[in-house]
Structure 1
């Protein structure tokens, strides 16, 4: 397994001129990665997750350009079932999680793009990342964009931002020696610098129960300034570590005041009561959706009532966008969702 030590480099001071736009801002394109790690999935499992990646890419390509990253694109049959609207770039990948290993795009006041480099190390050296660890730099080089050092190891799926100065993250996947040996305040300051924010909201999270150490984007998402959507049941289950951690995050959000001193608007959404999959670590997160130009691409799990409520909630929160819900169970069985598999490139600012 490839190893990577937490970065000891100082952040690039140019980051102070940039910020990461909200996901619902206009995109130039979506990036995705083609999974090839048979050692992770097995032959049959790999074919299943590849089909789900095709389904997601085809759905997004109806609304905006999609680039699928994969080495050896001419010989691996990747085009089977894939829309001709999806462009292939010959950049080698290991796995599908472009939210984590892909480029974190940031923009300055003039609309210039750069990549804030959150160094990917396989979620704390839990999985090989020989190719995925190079994806962000490779995309930046192909686009001829500055690659700006953040001085952090981690994944964009582990931090949420509201586009107006607030960040939300679980300490479990940042203040963790498997990624960073810095103290919490330094990590918070570097994340704020990297994404152009002023205030960090920390919740404890949960270490060691999944490969990500509990990424926030499966639980809570900012849908706009000071407005957050969280998937949570009303009653806390004291015997369930996931329930305890989720309610700790909810309390942190309830106690937060934004930069204007006002409480956050919190929208709660229950998860499905029944799902199609029997996989023990199945991720049934409606929250792990992706906002693209004109649409929200989300998962459905076969629970008609819960799926319907999720659709209605997303339609209310994202008016004017089509809500597209997909069966991506193989990705849920692999520990993630649609947001985990995607990465947006902001559109150039129009003069």
Structure 2
């Protein structure tokens, strides 16, 4: 949960990062700025033929290729290859799109975060272990040789895996799936009635916890990450995402210097944007089929960088696909935008979420429409809607800084010791809504403010993570505040050890332990 002026900090971080990288367009605090790239664009990577076929090509290395509408002018289509806009065309001039990734482990995606793209599309991964995601139109997808993950999304798609152990998901529509040689998994939008979904509660047994290692403008978070990882690795595996082999080596050296054992830390290499993996990471669902067989699957809900205010998010949006491929589990794309930080499950029949957040992310959907989707995908029968957000909260009101389940029927809600604080009313209103839903409410004090880097920050302790045998919670350098919070948490979780770890740099930038961790049941 982002408090007071954290919106400004993340926005300025974004501005500095994008300016340094000479990005074509940036988004800062609601204003649009156009920047011309300083380097020569690779015009030969994309060409439009006389008959309206737009050909986009990658390299023989590992490419990231996106086709998207321009979020400033949606009538324009953009081709982005490896982080650079290489071409743009008016959508009206494009009759078909053909993308070829070439050799290498490529990620190719029709990105519809700025608007639907229904133009007929052919996407080729060629040799390599590729991830390819189609759009809402009629797509033809070729994985080529290698272990590929191919998703058609909506539309009448034709998907071909070729050699290798491939995962093919047609999505809604009349699809043709051909895995080719190898051990393949073919999925084509199973009937809702055949599978029962359940999102496990956070206190259930974890297989591991995922985190995205801070990089670039977020390097200052690394000491806080080291403390969290040190606490977690005692009782469960930590899957730490890094962007390259050299980044892995650097992270290993940093953690070793901070006294963090690495025997229970697994490094996973994939592209990503930011380090707040709670929000962009996988949502894990336990699926039970008609025969009572249970298996875990990844749901991939849309991620747009906290409503567009958090900056470039295409890599983050694709992370759940990589996670599902690494873990070898089923995968489902859900075309609704939300962050996991605004979902709190009791593992049985209830989810607490925020109407303020979901309405901002999905302005075209009514509350009843969202309820239908949430109940169907999560297998819950009750949705508790919170409303409002704290001053300066970039997320618009994530639940994990307000209220947390501690068991199936009990929710702990933050409470300001000073009820005259401007944000106190938000927490009292949230507690009242939760009580009215028939749940027990206990309170966790926000005892006051701490000083950090010249600013006052509310000492909120609700952004904890429940892990195997432990609860990892924030400390703020005030022994009285921290010890009191630890004692309260220990009463709420008597069977677990409460470990307090310094998260002041994270909280200064808008989050804490829960915001940067993503637990895998």
Indicate conservation of the 8 Å contact 1:170/1:215, yes or no: yes
Indicate conservation of the 8 Å contact 1:6/1:153, yes or no: no
In structure 1, the residue matched to 2:384 is 201
CA distance in 2, matches of 1:311, 1:323: 7
In structure 2, the residue matched to 1:171 is 355
CA distance in 2, matches of 1:6, 1:170: 24
Q: Matched residue of 2:252: which SS?
A: coil
- Whose strand proportion is higher, 1 or 2? 2
Indicate conservation of the 8 Å contact 1:283/1:332, yes or no: no
Instruction: Find out whether 1:335 has 2:510 as its counterpart.
Output: yes
C-alpha spacing 1:22/1:69, structure 2 compared with 1 (3 Å): same
Higher relative contact order (CA 8 A, sep 6+): 1
- Whose helix proportion is higher, 1 or 2? 1
In structure 2, the residue matched to 1:42 is none
In structure 1, the residue matched to 2:241 is 69
Task: Please give the root-mean-square deviation of Cα atoms over the aligned residues, in Å.
Answer: 2.4
TM-score, normalization by structure 1:
0.86
Aligned partner of 1:78 among 237, 251, 259: 251
CA distance in 1, matches of 2:190, 2:502: 43
In structure 2, the residue matched to 1:134 is 318
Consecutive unaligned residues of structure 1, counting only runs of 5 or more, are 39-45, 258-263, 347-351
In structure 2, the residue matched to 1:232 is 415
C-alpha spacing 1:304/1:187, structure 2 compared with 1 (3 Å): same
C-alpha spacing 1:208/1:269, structure 2 compared with 1 (3 Å): closer
Q: Matched residue of 2:312: which SS?
A: coil
Q: For residues 225-268 of structure 1, what are the alpha-carbon distances to aligned partners after superposition, in whole Å with 9 as ceiling and x for unaligned?
A: 1210011126643x72x3232222112112112xxxxxx21111
Indicate conservation of the 8 Å contact 2:235/2:469, yes or no: yes
CA distance in 1, matches of 2:281, 2:454: 27
In structure 1, the residue matched to 2:258 is none
CA distance in 2, matches of 1:75, 1:339: 23
CA distance in 2, matches of 1:202, 1:212: 16
CA distance in 2, matches of 1:339, 1:298: 8
Deviation at 1:279, TM superposition (A): 5.8
Larger radius of gyration: 2
Moved more, 158-167 or 19-28: 158-167
In structure 2, the residue matched to 1:21 is 200
Q: For residues 156-190 of structure 1, what are the alpha-carbon distances to aligned partners after superposition, in whole Å with 9 as ceiling and x for unaligned?
A: 101111112111112111011x4452111111222
C-alpha spacing 1:124/1:151, structure 2 compared with 1 (3 Å): same
TM-score, normalization by structure 2:
0.59
CA distance in 2, matches of 1:166, 1:104: 16
CA distance in 2, matches of 1:281, 1:225: 35
| Residue correspondence of structure 1 range 49-198 to structure 2 within 5 A | 49-75=221-247, 77-82=250-255, 83-85=261-263, 86-109=265-288, 110-126=293-309, 127-176=311-360, 178-198=361-381
Aligned partner of 1:296 among 461, 467, 471: 471
Aligned length: 330
Q: For residues 68-105 of structure 1, what are the alpha-carbon distances to aligned partners after superposition, in whole Å with 9 as ceiling and x for unaligned?
A: 01111324611123231211100122211111011111
CA distance in 2, matches of 1:115, 1:224: 24
